[in-house]
Amino acid sequence: MMTASMLVLFTDFGIGSPYMGQMRAVLHQGAPGSPIIELFADAPAFDARAAAYLLAAHAPEFPPGTVFVCVVDPGVGGARPPMVLRAKGQVFVGPGNGLFEIIARRAAGFEARAITWRPQRLSPSFHGRDLFAPVAAALASGNDAAVAAIADSAWRQPEWLDDLAQVIYLDQFGNAITGLRAAKMSKDQAVQVNGDTLTRARTFSDMPVGRAFWYENANGLVEIAVNQGSAARDLGLTLGTAISLP
């Protein structure tokens, strides 16, 4: 018997949103044997570019065969194509608005397809529930979904940089995740943000309480933090705050 694949939700719907529950219901109905993991319900709202770097940093933690249902889709119901991307043994279902650009760029190879299947009911404002979730559930269950060829120009974003020098996520502690990969930084590289110059530390306990610094977080990204404090509050950081490398 085939083992059902893990389903992972990555959206900007908001924590506690009823939309997450509706998507989970569709996924469970279509793939009742698949575990459903809510990775992000608070991805950068309306910002497919920032979300693309966040998704690329977190996807490698999941096993081959995982099906990601990704909805950061300010153009829902518009011209952007619904699509499926297969890369690194994983499957990504969502809008072709650049959300999968960094995943594809960092993969040795990938296969992209436009979703041609349409349900009987397709809300123009909720493709996550009506289109992406049913397709993801079918794929997780080992079934096919109707797809067709898609041109790179329909979904790729070649002008985006390999790393994004800005804040792409703020957690509940006020730590600021950036779109920069720490592996690309030297050990003595400082970062500047809002006029403050921050040095690198290995972890929180290496710095005095109240000191701001940056470190390589558990997913390989440059993260700005304050030991037992809030970098967002103390440094005035918000989503999109620019980072510079002196």
Among residues 154, 188, 213, which one ends one of the domains?
154
Residue 181 CA to residue 12 CA, distance in Å, equals 22
Q: What percent of the chain has pLDDT over 70?
A: 99
CA-nearest of 98, 106, 88 to 162 is: 106
What does 107-144 look like in DSSP terms, one character per residue?
Answer: SS-EEEEEE----S---TT-HIIIIIHHHHHHHHTT--
User: Average pLDDT, stretch 223-243?
Assistant: 98
- 24 burial (CB, 10 Å; 0-12 / 13-18 / 19+) is middle
Q: Are residues 77 and 136 in the same domain?
A: yes
User: Is residue 53 domain-resident?
Assistant: yes
The predicted pLDDT at position 1 comes to 41
The crossing angle, in degrees rounded to 10, of helices 18-30 and 133-140 is: 40
Q: Tell me what the mean pLDDT of segment 5-17 comes to.
A: 96
State percent of the chain over pLDDT 90.
Answer: 98
3 pLDDT higher than 70 = no
3-state secondary structure of 38: strand
Distance CA 143, CA 106 (A): 27
Same-domain status, 182 and 224: yes
Q: Is the same domain home to 14 and 117? A: yes
One-letter amino acid for residue 147 of the chain: V
> Among candidates 184, 183, 195, 190, which has minimal Cα distance to 237?
195
Dist CA 134 CA 143 (whole Å): 11
**How many domains are there within the chain?**
2
Taking only the tens place, the pLDDT of each residue in 114-169 is 999 999 999 999 999 999 999 999 999 999 999 999 999 999 999 999 999 999 99
Alpha-carbon span 102 to 56, nearest angstrom: 6
pTM comes to 0.96
Domain of 14? Answer: 7-154
Average pLDDT, the chain: 97
Please give the single-letter amino acid code of residue 10.
F
What is residue 4's predicted lDDT score, i.e. its pLDDT?
A: 76
